[in-house]
Amino acid sequence: MKNISRRSFMEKSMKATAATVVGSSFVLGSKMASAQASVKNSFSALQFTQVKLPYAYNALEPNIDSMTMDVHYNKHYATYVKNVNDAITAENIGYATEEEFLANASKLSAKARNNGGGSWNHKFFWEAMKPGAIAPAGKVLDAITGAFGSLDEFKKQFEKAAMGRFGSGWAWLVKEDGKLKIGSTPNQDNPLMDVSELKGHPLLGLDVWEHAYYLKYQNKRAEYVTNWWNVVNWDEVAKKI
């Protein structure tokens, strides 16, 4: 009887131990799976957002027409936002902010880089314009004249950058190490990207892709650039300078 009892005790002990090991393994496995899921989810935590246009589609007429603004915002911009968010999810891109994302552009796929740049650039572009704009004054004008000699000389150099960008791209006014400078970037690159030759904190940006002006100006980029000064939001530039 004692042998049977001892055997029974041992069998029960072994079963209990096995159950404990299995249970512990299950709990550990669940925790690991949960941790892995958490890490994976953190990769897709950054999502670019299609910001609301800060004015009506026709608000910038006659300088930028309503149809161009509609197509530009609802087709081109919306597509950039969708595509970059798809890339973030599919490629497990784990940067926490848009600025960090752009600063690591060299490590991104072409899809992520181009559409991330397009999303950021267009948000910046919408904010850089407003209806009924007036000439710059105060600290903005002081900074521009201090860097370029006069407002007219600044515009001349900026227009040269916009016209000199072959094909699609952007013209920029940036601030780097306390100094203002002008340049351009190809495609949807911008001065925040580590791949950009032009570096600095963007103060003003002009979209010179054909989709930004072709419906109204056809191939007359120079006319588009000249008229664009009429809608520049210098108050927004002042916030960044």
Digit-coded pLDDT (tens) for 211-232? 999 999 999 999 999 999 999 9
Q: What integer best gives the mean pLDDT of the chain?
A: 88
Report whether 142 contacts 155 (CB < 8 A).
no
pTM (predicted TM-score): 0.82
Q: Structure tokens of 152?
A: 């007219």
Positive or negative torsion for Cα 130, 133, 138, 144: positive
Residue for token pair 């850089």:
128
Nearest to 125 by CA among 240, 205, 64, 226: 205
Residue 205 has pLDDT above 60, yes or no: yes
Proportion of the chain above pLDDT 90, given as a percent = 80
Name all domains of the chain by residue range, CATH numbers in brackets.
66-127 (1.10.287.990), 138-240 (3.55.40.20)
Q: Which amino acid is present at 42?
A: S
Q: What is the pLDDT of residue 38?
A: 42
Report whether 65 contacts 27 (CB < 8 A).
no
- Is-cis flag, bond preceding 191, omega within 30? no
Confidence of residue 88 (pLDDT cuts 50, 70, 90): very high
Range 20-58 burial, b when 16+ CB lie within 10 A, else e: eeeeeeeeeeeeeeeeeeeeeeeeeebebebeebebebe
Residue 43 has pLDDT above 60, yes or no: no
Q: What is the pLDDT of residue 11?
A: 52
Residue 67 has pLDDT above 80, yes or no: yes
Residue 139 has pLDDT above 60, yes or no: yes
